[in-house]
Amino acid sequence: MNINLGLTPVVSLIAGILILIVPRMLNYIVAIYLIVIGIIGLAGMENLHMH
């Protein structure tokens, strides 16, 4: 059985848990989440151009 787990859902889950635990940090968690998702997206696009 081959399990392929994407990085985006894992980052989303961690961000959601952090928001539940530390609601005052919402702005920072959302900002870090958006930066990480953007980097993942750009890295994915670069990998598509390499092939």
pLDDT (tens digit per residue) in 32-47: 999 988 888 888 766 6
Q: What are the b/e assignments for 3-30, b being 16+ CB within 10 Å?
A: eeeeeeeeeeeebeebeeeeeeeeeebe
Q: What is the pLDDT of residue 6?
A: 76
Q: What is the pLDDT of residue 10?
A: 87
Global model pTM greater than 0.95 = no
Residues 25 and 18: beta-carbon distance below 8 Å: yes
The residue among 41, 39, 38, 16 whose CA lies nearest residue 29 is 16
Give the separation between CA 50 and CA 22, rounded to whole angstroms.
40
Per-domain boundaries in the chain = 23-51
Give the separation between CA 31 and CA 51, rounded to whole angstroms.
31
